[in-house]
Amino acid sequence: MTKTIAVIGSGMTGLVTALSLSKYEYEVTIFSSNIKGEASKAAAGILFPLYPWKNSENMVQLCLQGKVLFDNYLKNLNKKEQEKISYQKKNLILLDENNEALNFYQKSKINFLSQKIDINNFEPCINYNQNDFIVVKDISCIDTSNLMKYMEVELKKANVQFIKKKINKTSELKKFDHIIVCAGAWSKSITNKNISLYPIKGQIIKVRSESQKVRNIILENGIYIMQRPDNISIIGATVENVGFDLKKTEEAKKLLLDQYERRFDKNYTFLDHLVGFRPTTIDNYPHIIKCNDNPKIIYNFGHNRYGVLTSFASAQIVYNLINEN
Ligand SMILES: Cc1cc2nc3c(=O)[nH]c(=O)nc-3n(C[C@H](O)[C@H](O)[C@H](O)COP(=O)(O)OP(=O)(O)OC[C@H]3O[C@@H](n4cnc5c(N)ncnc54)[C@H](O)[C@@H]3O)c2cc1C
């Protein structure tokens, strides 16, 4: 008999979990409330870890596995679909190069450059006159919001049902064979109150320039700048441990715009200022496990800064958990 699966949450984690499971013989229903501060709607869409050497080995592995699976998914979209979600390959230029970063890339199989090269060969419009930086090659970038809209259409075509409903307890869904909790930073309120999970607020800015100013992803002091094909640049993001505080602050806006002006130019139109809550755990690795009290319930939350990048790899772990034994 076909198994029924309830997915709680329609951020990237929930959508990709549903998409991956709908390819098998499952009847999938997504339950989601329209919560403010959903991380996925604020996400930049960089499909690579920013500072991998600051993460645990298992998180880096999940990210790299996620990168391979995500790249395969993107490669199989047609050109029109790729354009719709602003899919591009870019280099990541790390301006704050240091020994830790160099050690990490030298030991890894990741394609990078660190010789003393002229930055203007890579990034003609940047105001930066030093030659110590690292270039990580060929990173996929997407417009996450547009990808989510596209996935919703595809999921509906695959007969996945969407129900707008806030779930307070997993017992509300006990008629399903499996319940996958993908409610991001809010997952704790539905599951185990003792589990480690808290929100880390991120503020991000969008500006439009008249022409292409930024070719690569420029990363410096934790702030990245990335320009999409429509000349909209994304500048992010703050990292704030302030609970579920939705306030957009002038301080954050200034910090991000100053960085753009310092490295690029002052001629832009300010477009948007977004806030999202990254679902974060103490050990900085997501909970992708069966619930101790009820193995029908599977957790898939806590992906912190890399929930878009790791979404396909996490969905694969969920599939394996459903099918173990
Ligand atoms: C500014 C910013 C930039 C980022 N950039 C990147 C990036 O470039 N690359 C990357 O990989 N990651 C990035 N991240 C991290 C990434 O956005 C998150 O890790 C990821 O979006 C988490 O996805 P999620 O689906 O688990 O949670 P969310 O996107 O927060 O979604 C949670 C879902 O659960 C639903 N929900 C909550 N409570 C309930 C309930 N009780 N009942 C029903 N539904 C409920 C919500 O409505 C929502 O649909 C960024 C994050 C921020 C904030």
Q: Which atom of ligand 1 is nearest to the CA of 41?
A: 29
Q: Which of 31, 34, 38, 298 to mutate to test the pocket of ligand 1 (most atoms within 8 A of CB)?
A: 38
Look at residue 117 in the predicted model and tell me its pLDDT.
79
| Six token digits for residue 274 | 């977004």
Kindly report, residue by residue over 125-171, the tens digit of the pLDDT.
999 988 788 999 999 999 999 999 999 999 999 999 999 999 999 99
**Mutation pick for ligand 1 pocket among 17, 19, 30, 35 (CB with most ligand atoms within 8 Å):** 35
Å from CA of 266 to ligand 1 middle: 31
State the distance from the centre of ligand 1 to the C-alpha of 188, rounded, in angstroms: 14
Q: Residue whose CA is closest, atom 26 of ligand 1?
A: 184
Q: How far is the CA of 308 from the centre of ligand 1 (A)?
A: 8
Q: What are the start-end ranges of the H helices in 123-273?
A: 144-157, 250-263
**Does 3 score more than 80 pLDDT?**
yes
pLDDT over 70 percentage in the chain: 100
pLDDT of residue 6: 98
**At residue 202, does pLDDT exceed 80?**
yes
* Cβ contacts of 280-287, under 8 Å, gap ≥ 24: 280/185, 280/197, 280/198, 280/199, 280/200, 280/304, 281/196, 281/197, 282/196, 283/56, 283/196, 284/55, 284/56, 284/59, 285/56, 285/58, 285/59, 285/62, 286/62, 286/310, 286/314, 287/187, 287/195, 287/197
* pLDDT value of residue 1: 76
Binned at pLDDT 50, 70 and 90, residue 283 comes out as: very high
Q: Give the residue whose CA is nearest to atom 31 of ligand 1.
A: 11
CA 298 – CA 44 distance, rounded (Å): 27
| Confidence bin at 40 (pLDDT 50/70/90) | very high
Q: Distance between CA atoms of 148 and 189, rounded to whole angstroms? A: 24
- Predicted TM-score of the model (pTM): 0.97
Q: What is the distance in A from the centroid of ligand 1 to the CA of 11?
A: 5
pLDDT score of 39 more than 80: yes
How far lies 115's CA from each of 51, 97, 136, 146, 202, in Å?
Answer: 19, 12, 12, 37, 33
Q: Would you list the DSSP string of 178-191?
A: EEEE--GGGGGGTS
10 has a pLDDT exceeding 90 = yes
Task: Please say if the pLDDT value at position 194 is more than 90.
Answer: no
254 touches 214 (CB < 8 A): no
Going from the Cα of 239 to the center of ligand 1, the distance in angstroms, rounded, reads 14
Residue 192 near residue 291 (C-beta atoms within 8 A): yes
Q: What is the mean pLDDT of residues 255-259?
A: 98
Classify domain 4-322 at the CATH superfamily level: FAD/NAD(P)-binding domain (3.50.50.60)
192 pLDDT higher than 90: no
Nearest CA to ligand 1 atom 35: 9
* Closest ligand 1 atom to 167 CA: 42
Which of 24-33, 95-104, 218-227 is predicted with the least confidence, judged by mean pLDDT? 95-104
The confidence band for 97, taking pLDDT boundaries of 50, 70 and 90, is confident
CA–centroid distance, residue 122 to ligand 1 (Å): 32
Q: Tokens at residue 255, please?
A: 């910090």
Domains of the chain: which residue ranges?
Answer: 4-322
Ligand 1, pocket residues at CB < 6 Å: 8-14, 31-33, 35, 38-40, 42-46, 166-167, 182-186, 190, 202, 204, 236-237, 276, 278-279, 301, 303-309
| 4 Cα to the center of ligand 1, angstroms | 24
Q: How remote is the CA of residue 13 from the centroid of ligand 1, in Å?
A: 7
